[in-house]
Structure 1
Amino acid sequence: MTRYTSSHWGLYEVEGTEDAPRIVPFRGDPDPSEIGLHQLAPELKAARIRRPAVRRSWLEGGPGHAPELRGREPFVEVSWEEASRLAAAEVARIRESHGNKAIFGGSYGWSSAGRFHHAQSQVHRFLNIAGGYVRSRDSYSLAAAHVILPHVVDDMHSLMTYHTSWDVLAENCTLFVAFGGVPAKNSQISAGGVARHKTRAGLRALGEAGAEVVNISPVSDNLITDGPVRWVQIRPGSDTAMMLGLAHVLQSEGLHDTGFLASHCTGWERFEAYLTGESDGTPKTADWAAELCGVPADEIRALARRMASSRTMINVAWALQRSDRGEQPFWMTITLAAMLGQIGLPGGGFAVGYGAENMVGSNELDLRVPSLPQGQNAVAEFIPVARIADMLLNPGGSFTYNGGTYTYPDIRLVWWAGGNPFHHHQDLTRLQRAFEKPETIVVNEQFWTAAARRADIVLPATTAMERDDLGFGTLEGHYAYMKAIVPPVGEARDDYEIFRGIARELGLEEAFTEGREAEDWLRHFHDRTRQSWAEHGIEVPDYETFREQGLVDLGPKARARVMLKDFRENPAAHPLPTPSGRIEIYSERVASFGLADCKGHPSWFPPEEWLGAAAAARFPLHLVSDQPERRLHSQLDPSPWSRANKIGGREPVLMHPEDAAARGLSDGDTVELFNDRGRCLAGLRVTETVMRGVARLSTGGWYDPDPDSGTERHGNPNALTADRPASGLSQGCAAHSCLIDIRPATLTPEPRPFVLPEGATGG
């Protein structure tokens, strides 16, 4: 029988022998991702954590000793018994001395595609059973959207599951307008694995059907249909201004759908007063917008008229809300679509993320499988996920979030499992300082990442290749048994066994395991899945048969989707989960928060860093730090597939030929990117796929600061980005609001991101 493994990049088949397995694409995937084919590469194995390890000063001096040496001193490898005892003793000490609200449970990242061996579920269950912990809310990817969208239309997860499907778009859409593109490289992934990659085929079908495709973006290669695409070069961070200009044309020329605005929306009149300038004295005309966004006013007017006369889908990329005032482009996208009156029609309306994940635009069945119960958290304190450095550096300080005011807790113990904050966070020099504050940092990790190197206790975890699990992704049309392919590297243990051993030290083993081995949990999950899916008329074999056959493929049961179709047809019978039950162009609730940086309706706020700011005189390039093409975030960066894209062992930075020439730079040069926050080195790639005034350095290169100069040697853009909240509403990250300059590198220390720390066992 065929063996399968599921990862974020796809469902894969396993061939070869037990001693020499190899991963190949799932034969049903029309566009498999190359990323996951390298999960067994020896380069990855060489970067693994093989034994439990403790930072030397912490081991010798105790908790809180020499925290400034985190990331700068050797580790001492210890037995699992010793590591479990030390970790359990820290949990007990902190609980007794400071209470559970002094423990932060960090688990941000994609962890595993398996439903049981999912580090976030495991660490949260363990900490809840131990009395609770401070948690984070939302995500770096979507924090601003997660907070604003429920006030306006619906929550982000619900919207993702019922986006209009690609087949409906190809049949009905005649004008596809994308703010920030539709980056197919991003949609290589889905949380539970991808059986059939759909984005490239969906875009191709849209082009073949004759739809006009417009990419409004500072880069051109993030929307490819194999047909004509009109590239509109826009100044980064100014999308809301252009949308307002489009809206003014629709309103002033009577092209807006007043009937839909009256029947399905609330607050149009309040927004209209802002749009026309009645409320603030500034009409948001196409000419006003052109001065801000750099797109000619005549082009804005022409596009608005085409949008009104076409079946138009407006897509906004997730990247746009990872910026100063990131709520505004999402809110304005929905408002613009409401003015066109096509929301709920096949091929029309709005989308918040085609190209962000494979599931967006899928027509597969919306089913669920169980996940590990996490219990109840007895600690009320939380932080927005991107405010971790603020929390550690400013205990007792206050912050606002979604209309409330809260206090940062005083964290003494950080436990991280399933994620790498030194990838996701901004201003990594500041995060380094913040990581010197806790008395103890414990990390469950598979690889010697920057986060593991800055821990006090490092616990080696297995990868999905080394354990049995159940693979399932929402709207992905498959359910897979993931049989272990290779034995664990070194002494690595499953997170379940790691926490089980520590729970045993605390007298909590029975509460954590409920008397079940890992295999018992898998059988339990499967039996519940089988029962649940039977209610939908889907037959799933018993556990033993499923484990043997390896896959349940749901593809033939797919169905077309039209987002908000029922709401359009009968808003009274199918109201939205907003206070009014309608689309809230003006939100009384948001207005009541009294925030200076988020009004009751979508508005233009100049970003703190953009090419229209005074700071652009010193730093005249806008840094775009998008998702990488050859990995997910920082995962698998040591793989040969990721390394093959580097230039001289460093990440590539893309730059327009005229910008490079003005600085005396040539393709392949080692260059230094810099601003007042930091410096990093990268390899230069000169290309016309980025507009003038823009530099593009994708995220995910493992953070590698030079201990002597402080310069990041590997090309991590978060050495430069600002650790600044998007707004007082969401507190989301603002990574894309970042100004820099680039010059020839005078000092070029060798990048060493994958060299093991001193004291770690190699292989």
Structure 2
Amino acid sequence: MTRRDMLKNSAMVSLALSSSLSSLKAAGAINDIQLIPHATHFGPFIAKVKDGKFVEVLKSPQDKNPSVMIESMIDRVYTDSRVKYPCVRKGFLEGKNNPHMRGREPFVRVDWDTALELVAQKIKATPRENIYNAAYGGWGHVGRLHNANSVAGRFFNIALGGAVGTDGEYSNGAAGRVNSDIIGDMEVYSQQTTHEQIIKHTKVYVMWGADLFKCNRIDYVVPNHLNDTYYPQYKQAGIRFICIDPYYNESAQMFDAQWIKIRPNTDVALMLGLMHYLYTSGKYDKAFIETYTDGFDKFLPYLLGQSDGVAKDIAWASKITELSESSIKDLADLFVSQRTFIAGNWAMQRAQYGEQADWGLIALASMIGQIGLPGGGVGFSMHYAGGGQANSGYTTTPGLSQGRNRVGFSIPASRISECILNPGKSINFKGRVITFPEIKMIYCCGATLLGHHPNTNELIRAIRSVDTVVVHEPWWTPMAKMADVVFPSTCTLERDDITSGGTYSRNVIYAMRKVIEPTYEHRDDFEIFADLSKKLGGEELYNRYTGGMSYMEWIEKFYNSSSGVNFKDFETFWRDGFVEFDIDKEAYEYVRHADFRADPIANKLATQSGKIQFFVDKFQKADLVDFKGHLMWFEPEEYLGSAESKDYPFHLLTPHPRYRVHSQLDNTWVRGMYKIQGREPVVINTQDAARLGIKHGEVVEVYNKRGAVLAGAFVTDFIREGVVQIQEGAWYDPQNPDDALPRCNAGSCNVLTSSRPTSRWAQATSVNTCLVGIRKLGKDEVLEPYKSSSAPQIIGA
């Protein structure tokens, strides 16, 4: 798109908005109608506001295929699950030290000054080394000014000099700790080979656990859903698709992909079997290995079984993966005979020994020898945030500065429960030893621990062990119900902000204009922290926190700090709701690692040798039992075939949801599209369901030693026998909070998942290493109503 086209389109959009408003008035509608542009993780949209009330969601011209999720925005504002007033847990307000009552007793409505003063006094009484700032760089919301992680970090760093934070993430906690040493970059968030190059050159497209269509419904910033326009072109190009996954996902169905029904958690064994065959048959790319990789000679003895007596051949891989030897051989022959692109995923590394997953794909792609070729190689982000789209090259909006955290300790993301329950315990982490501090206060803004952390019952024990829990929330989430003090914060529709569009395209800046005034007693998180700053340090600290600037001054500053904004002045941008940048023709020709392949000396990787590493010295020197200097197969402690499978015969997968961003939207009407009798679906194979006497649409109990949930049976042939699937993010709803292990009425999968770390190196989450049993409910068992999104009892409301 040329700059002239962009300006023309911008004018057309502005004219369209004006024309729409004029036509409404001409039709005799009430004059007080506004069309207001806004943007979210689900896409941009135009809000129709009548008499001050948000009444309709209209399509934005930037969204190429709007998601149904965008239709739930109205419900986010007017749902009964809104936190309407500042609330304090009854016992906490009365001065009783009864943390075990969190989630078990009513709240009391208080005024803002009482709530702020109570929290300020608790902060003053708690050393910063004992406060856990539970906001982290997650999916709070897309705004740059009101980003929950930023406003919370700015408060703690400016007001207190810091607090204990979170190290790493849940999405890519394992891969993020090893990939940079293997291939010089995390890769999981890197620019991907463009769709144009895939369509033109790729002959075989391997979706190794990746679900392109489903996961691209959302974006870390604002999605444009442009990928949806490319997928029909993939089919027209005649690309052969292969799905290596225990679940025949939506994308596989769309592309009519060949289904490789692999046994869960055995992907690395399959990769090793493929590599062993390629090496012993002489079909691997020896020139690529010699020119572009390092340490192959140190890996080869393990692959061939010379170091441990076990050759990782096709027969060995077949036994572990439960795939036929012939199918493994056929895959290897196909990959080296055709231009092959391997689309990796993030789920495999969220399993025990997950560090090996991406390493295995990188090693396999190296032996195939197509890394850096158009349409070949490996990519880990084609399923995420518009992966494969060409990049504008522009710098989009910056965020709020947070200052410096002087505490100097952060909890590895998946170790939160372990840390809180075991102060003083030392663990290995990234090749060094760290010691857990004592956590006395949990401060949670814009993130819900009970939504994303594994082993819910263990986490609840941890939450009930600290002195104070403070939560900012627009809604009564499960985490808010476990708090001592709840501040009612605005949602994005009740405040002005600014953001960018397209994690990979980076070609749009959006005005997130306030759609309606805040309802009830909601305040912005920024304002809440500014008020707390005043309580702690008076006007001086208040001004340091706010920077002496208004919201619109901050927003205009962010806008003017972006490159390319000379296309529109700020006033025009704010009126139109967006500015869109050009994308150069050359950007559509981008191939991942093409420069490295062209000249590995001039464009060396940021690894120990400048090449792709089959062996990493510092990994070996760490001398860990569960992570070594080269790629290895480690048998999971909990998977099909292990001792626990006798009691829990199903492997549970917990993928990203189709109609949510993690837990977001589980309190809106959109959940009615997929819930079964109000519960999260459990996908089960037709034959497995028949053996258990389970019919499609029935509510069943899914259980293991960590807990139990009720879920709705979704019976299908699109999942491997012995495997079940529950999407993550359902709002936790304990049937009886007084039980030691309450059964969740809503089907929250993290009641079942383990907090076991991937390894002693990354200490990341291993939620996809999980076994469960399934039980058909008896005829006399009464199902309680689903109530996870309802407000708790509030005295004085």
| TM-score normalised by length of structure 1 | 0.95
Within-5 A mapping of 1:372-387: 372-387=400-415
Q: CA deviation at 1:518?
A: 1.5
Q: In 1, are the aligned partners of 2:202 and 2:239 still within 8 Å (CA)?
A: yes
Q: In 2, are the aligned partners of 1:174 and 1:312 still within 8 Å (CA)?
A: yes
Which residue of 276, 296, 305 corresponds with 1:248?
A: 276
Question: Match of 2:421, as an amino acid?
Answer: L
Name stretches of at least 5 consecutive residues in structure 2 with no aligned partner: 1-13, 18-35
Quote the residue 2:419 is aligned against. Answer: 391
Question: Match of 2:789, as an amino acid?
Answer: F
Quote the residue 1:461 is aligned against. Answer: 489
Q: Separation in 2 of the partners of 1:44 and 1:593? A: 53
Quote the residue 2:677 is aligned against. Answer: 648
Q: CA deviation at 1:667?
A: 1.0
Within-5 A mapping of 1:10-29: 10-17=43-50, 18-29=52-63
Change (3 A) 1:225 1:653: closer
Q: CA deviation at 1:545?
A: 1.9
Question: Residue by residue, what CA displacement relative to the aligned partner does 1:626-655 show, whole Å, maximum 9, x if unpaired?
Answer: 111111100010111123311111111111
Which residue of 507, 510, 513 corresponds with 1:480?
A: 510
Secondary structure of the 1:188 match is coil
Q: Separation in 1 of the partners of 2:504 and 2:270? A: 33
Question: Match of 2:121, as an amino acid?
Answer: A
Within-5 A mapping of 1:412-451: 412-451=440-479
Within-5 A mapping of 1:263-662: 263-355=291-383, 357-366=384-393, 367-473=395-501, 474-476=503-505, 477-507=507-537, 508-529=541-562, 533-534=563-564, 539-554=566-581, 556-557=583-584, 559-560=587-588, 561-662=590-691
Within-5 A mapping of 1:199-218: 199-218=227-246
Which residue of 728, 731, 755 corresponds with 1:702?
A: 731
Q: In 1, are the aligned partners of 2:79 and 2:668 still within 8 Å (CA)?
A: no
Q: CA deviation at 1:159?
A: 5.2
Question: Match of 2:568, as an amino acid?
Answer: P
Q: CA deviation at 1:761?
A: 7.8
Aligned residues: 747
Q: In 1, are the aligned partners of 2:86 and 2:488 still within 8 Å (CA)?
A: yes
Secondary structure of the 1:46 match is coil
Q: Separation in 1 of the partners of 2:72 and 2:81? A: 14
Q: Separation in 1 of the partners of 2:190 and 2:295? A: 27
Question: Residue by residue, what CA displacement relative to the aligned partner does 1:278-333 show, whole Å, maximum 9, x if unpaired?
Answer: 11111111111010011111000011011011111112210101100001111000
Secondary structure of the 2:509 match is strand
Secondary structure of the 1:125 match is helix
Secondary structure of the 1:185 match is helix
Quote the residue 1:104 is aligned against. Answer: 132
Secondary structure of the 2:785 match is coil
Question: Residue by residue, what CA displacement relative to the aligned partner does 1:392-412 show, whole Å, maximum 9, x if unpaired?
Answer: 100000111111110001011
Secondary structure of the 2:794 match is coil
Q: CA deviation at 1:386?
A: 0.9
Change (3 A) 1:227 1:429: closer
Q: CA deviation at 1:42?
A: 6.8
Change (3 A) 1:260 1:472: same
Q: In 2, are the aligned partners of 1:174 and 1:310 still within 8 Å (CA)?
A: yes
Question: Match of 1:487, as an amino acid?
Answer: E
Question: Match of 2:44, as an amino acid?
Answer: L
Quote the residue 1:45 is aligned against. Answer: 79
Which residue of 25, 42, 57 corresponds with 2:91?
A: 57
Q: In 1, are the aligned partners of 2:86 and 2:111 still within 8 Å (CA)?
A: yes
Q: Separation in 1 of the partners of 2:282 and 2:566? A: 54
Q: Separation in 1 of the partners of 2:650 and 2:112? A: 49
1:663 aligns with 2:696: no
Quote the residue 1:7 is aligned against. Answer: 40
Q: In 1, are the aligned partners of 2:214 and 2:251 still within 8 Å (CA)?
A: no
1:71 aligns with 2:98: no
Change (3 A) 1:181 1:525: closer
Q: In 2, are the aligned partners of 1:85 and 1:505 still within 8 Å (CA)?
A: yes
Q: In 1, are the aligned partners of 2:271 and 2:360 still within 8 Å (CA)?
A: yes
Q: Separation in 1 of the partners of 2:362 and 2:795? A: 52
Question: Match of 1:661, as an amino acid?
Answer: A
Question: Match of 1:13, as an amino acid?
Answer: I
Q: In 1, are the aligned partners of 2:397 and 2:509 still within 8 Å (CA)?
A: no
Change (3 A) 1:318 1:416: same
Q: Separation in 1 of the partners of 2:78 and 2:759? A: 39
Q: Separation in 1 of the partners of 2:428 and 2:248? A: 37
Quote the residue 1:715 is aligned against. Answer: 747
Question: Match of 1:280, as an amino acid?
Answer: D
Which residue of 148, 156, 181 corresponds with 1:127?
A: 156
Change (3 A) 1:408 1:540: farther
Question: Residue by residue, what CA displacement relative to the aligned partner does 1:583-621 show, whole Å, maximum 9, x if unpaired?
Answer: 111111111111111111111011111112121111110
Which residue of 205, 216, 219 corresponds with 2:247?
A: 219
Question: Residue by residue, what CA displacement relative to the aligned partner does 1:206-238 show, whole Å, maximum 9, x if unpaired?
Answer: 222111110000011242474431011000100
Question: Match of 1:608, as an amino acid?
Answer: E
Secondary structure of the 1:116 match is coil
Question: Residue by residue, what CA displacement relative to the aligned partner does 1:366-396 show, whole Å, maximum 9, x if unpaired?
Answer: 4332110010011011111111100110000
Secondary structure of the 1:752 match is coil
Q: In 1, are the aligned partners of 2:215 and 2:656 still within 8 Å (CA)?
A: yes
Which residue of 218, 221, 225 corresponds with 1:197?
A: 225
Question: Match of 1:149, as an amino acid?
Answer: N
Q: CA deviation at 1:519?
A: 1.6
Question: Match of 1:172, as an amino acid?
Answer: H
Q: CA deviation at 1:443?
A: 0.7
Question: Match of 1:30, as an amino acid?
Answer: K
Q: CA deviation at 1:544?
A: 1.6
Quote the residue 2:201 is aligned against. Answer: 172
Secondary structure of the 2:553 match is helix
Q: Separation in 2 of the partners of 1:312 and 1:761? A: 64
Secondary structure of the 1:40 match is helix
Question: Match of 1:504, as an amino acid?
Answer: K
Question: Match of 1:305, as an amino acid?
Answer: D
Q: CA deviation at 1:11?
A: 1.4
Q: CA deviation at 1:177?
A: 1.4
Q: In 2, are the aligned partners of 1:478 and 1:555 still within 8 Å (CA)?
A: no
Q: In 2, are the aligned partners of 1:44 and 1:636 still within 8 Å (CA)?
A: no
Q: Separation in 2 of the partners of 1:102 and 1:226? A: 50
Q: In 1, are the aligned partners of 2:243 and 2:252 still within 8 Å (CA)?
A: no
Secondary structure of the 2:772 match is strand
Question: Match of 2:336, as an amino acid?
Answer: A
Q: In 1, are the aligned partners of 2:220 and 2:385 still within 8 Å (CA)?
A: no
Q: CA deviation at 1:54?
A: 0.7
Question: Displaced runs of 4+ in structure 1, greater than 4 A?
Answer: 555-558
Quote the residue 1:261 is aligned against. Answer: 289
Secondary structure of the 1:666 match is coil
Q: In 1, are the aligned partners of 2:80 and 2:790 still within 8 Å (CA)?
A: no
1:755 aligns with 2:787: no
Question: Residue by residue, what CA displacement relative to the aligned partner does 1:77-104 show, whole Å, maximum 9, x if unpaired?
Answer: 111111111111111111xxxx311111
Quote the residue 2:7 is aligned against. Answer: none
Question: What RMSD, in angstroms, separates the aligned Cα atoms of the two structures?
Answer: 1.6
Q: Separation in 2 of the partners of 1:84 and 1:424? A: 27
Secondary structure of the 2:232 match is helix
Name stretches of at least 5 consecutive residues in structure 1 with no aligned partner: none
Give the stretch that moved more between structures: 593-602 or 20-29: 20-29
Q: CA deviation at 1:25?
A: 2.6
